[in-house]
Amino acid sequence: MFTLPVVRLRALTRGLRVKLIVVALGLLASIDPLSAGALQYTYFSDPSAGPGGQTDFFAVDDAGIVYGKYLSAGGSAWTVFTYQNGVTHDVASGIYPFGANDLGVAVGGQSILNADGSITTSPLCCFADINDSGLMVGSLGAHAGMAVNGVWQDLGLPYLQSFATGVNDLGQIVGYYWDGVSPSRGFLWQNGAFITVVSPLGEPIININDLGQMVADDYFFDGSAWINISQPATGWAMQLQDLNDLGVMVGHNGNQGVIITPASVPEPGTWLLAGLGLLSTVVSKRSWRSSLLKKP
């Protein structure tokens, strides 16, 4: 029997509670991917994709683990893998995920890749992202919504079509809508209300981190302005898919994945506690993500 992940709205994980405290203290507001210096671009094509294959990074967590998928030339089934510090680990095939959380759960369409590597199929469709509380967002019948404890809830956007593409751990949801006449517009939804978010070229808003920073195609929103981070010299258009709370962005550039990192990034697990004078406890990742560094 299929069971959707339970959304623990009142029982947030310890990591999220710490994150909320830090946000309340205003410490996270000072983190800007572009303020630390030049951005570093890392391009990657999974060797298993072979010549003519495709590689795409679709998510990155706060520990720096990147989630990707590759397709060999002429192939029909994508393979999901994790990537960190140049080391990859194949996870599963036959799923096309769009988003993942810090607990190792990835979603795409009706498919859910669980932390143990198993794949389950949801009776609901179609999911694009999931946060650490298990809240999944996407669209059903071309209307943006979310799954709360296995029950679909429409976001109530009064437009012909709407699609939710990203959600952060604060429950803020982003996506885009179309009224049937004007070009599509991005939106930011929270607690039953939404605002329109217009990116420079009208691109859909793809994702949002816990700082309220967003990505849309090859643009990054730092909280006050949109910044183009593309590299025209590559000859391909950048497509950003996700960003974490450290400002690390991932996506694809043509047929290769790309990781965009600020020149100076705090060590995972310590940046949240910076300036507090507290000791942090490193919690090891579980299930299929824990085997990331075991692959030769």
Per-residue pLDDT of 154-200, as tens digits, reads 999 999 999 999 999 999 999 999 999 988 899 999 999 999 999 98
Output the pLDDT for position 4. Answer: 40
Query: What are the residue ranges spanned by the domains of the chain?
Result: 14-294
**Angle, alpha carbons 270-271-272 (nearest 5°):** 90
pLDDT (tens place) for every residue of the chain, 296 residues total: 333 443 333 333 444 444 443 343 333 444 455 543 588 999 999 999 999 999 999 999 999 999 999 999 888 899 999 999 889 999 999 889 999 999 999 999 999 999 999 999 998 889 999 999 999 999 999 999 999 888 999 999 999 999 999 999 999 999 999 999 988 899 999 999 999 999 988 888 999 999 999 999 999 998 889 999 887 666 677 899 999 999 999 999 889 999 999 876 554 444 344 333 333 333 333 344 433 333 33
Place of tokens 């572009």: 34
pLDDT of residue 291: 36
End-to-end CA distance of the chain: 36
Burial 5-32 (b: 16+ CB within 10 A, else e): bebeeeeeeebbebbeebbeeebbeebb
Q: Is 193 exposed, middle or buried (0-12, 13-18, 19+ CB in 10 A)?
A: exposed
Taking the complete model, does pTM exceed 0.75, yes or no? yes
Domain 14-294 coded CATH 2.130.10: yes
